[in-house]
Structure 1
Amino acid sequence: MAGVGPAPKDPSRRARRNKDPQPQTVLRFEKAEAPDLPGDIDWHPRTREWWEVWKRSPQAEVMSETDWSFLLDTALMHHAMWSKGQWTLAAEVRLRVSKLGATPEDRARLRMVFADADEKDAKRPEQPKSQSRYANLRVLPSRQVGEGS
């Protein structure tokens, strides 16, 4: 008996073939150096700190010129939020930085991982099956009716 249920449908007769409707476009990556904030604005100190954090972030290693331009527009919103109290911009700033992997949840959604985590996993010795978390379990002797309480 090969399996349970009806035989699979002939692939040529399937309604859904799960092909990509659009072919993937491969672009040449050109890393852009993180620019300084423009000097024609008296930036709020929190925005200056925020910008420096992004410049030092691991994500900066894979940011192109358009990414930095997008982040600069976001910096203007961040500045207005802190200097003018325009807190209605907070939601937009949050959405925009999530596209660049600002939080652990964002990075997980974008399938970003830190390289050192992979290196640490590779260096971790593999435990033999006998040393698994259940290796020290033992069977207790059965109790007879009337023994103990």
Structure 2
Amino acid sequence: MAGMGPPPKSPEKRARRNKGPEVHVIVSEPVPQPALPKRMPNGDPWPEITRAWWRMWGKDPLAAEFRATDWAELRDTAAIHGAYWSGDLKMAGELRLRTAKFGATAEDRARLRITYAAADDADDRRERRRSGSSGEATKRRYAELKAVD
């Protein structure tokens, strides 16, 4: 099955700085995660792993911004997840494609241009180490070394 191509480059590495497409701003409030229906669409009970998967999505920081349509799509994806874990392995490709749209993996989030704040904090700390304060620490660390002729 075909993928979606490589993740996008970071803006700093791009050769061209073309203006992106116009963005339409719409006012919409996030909604809380609804409960899963009592049973899967085929009438079977939900596999416990799918119930845990649904709870995991409810706790994910990305879910704080989900609208009703997002939850509806994720609920339909839960049915595919349940079918997969009930033994219908031909659903794996569709499950992968649908969860990718929600940023399930690090690669998916890169493609969607989503970063967690912790990564930004780590980048800031790394930049501070590079830009000066670590220079003094390096000098102190090597101060006792002597050149050998």
Do both share a fold (TM > 0.5)? yes
Please name the residue that 2:32 is paired with: 33
2:69 corresponds in structure 1 to: 66
Are positions 1:107 and 2:109 aligned together? yes
The structure whose Rg is larger is: 1
Secondary structure, in 3 states, of the residue corresponding to 2:52?
A: helix
- Three-state SS of the structure 1 residue aligned to 2:103 is coil
The count of aligned residue pairs is 124
Unaligned runs of 5+ in 1: 1-15, 143-149
RMSD in angstroms over aligned alpha carbons?
A: 3.2
Higher relative contact order (CA 8 A, sep 6+): 2
| Amino acid paired to 1:78 | H
* Residues 56-86 of structure 1 deviation map (CA, whole Å, 9 limit, x = unaligned): 1111111111111110111111111112x11
CA positional deviation for 1:135 = 6.2
Secondary structure at the aligned position of 1:71 is classed as helix
TM-score, with length taken from structure 2: 0.66
Q: Which whole-Å CA distance do the structure 2 matches of 1:93 and 1:133 have between them? A: 53
Work out which of the residue numbers 122, 130, 133 in structure 1 matches 2:136: 130
State the shift of 1:23 in Å: 2.5
Aligned-pair identity (%): 40
Larger helix share, 1 or 2: 2
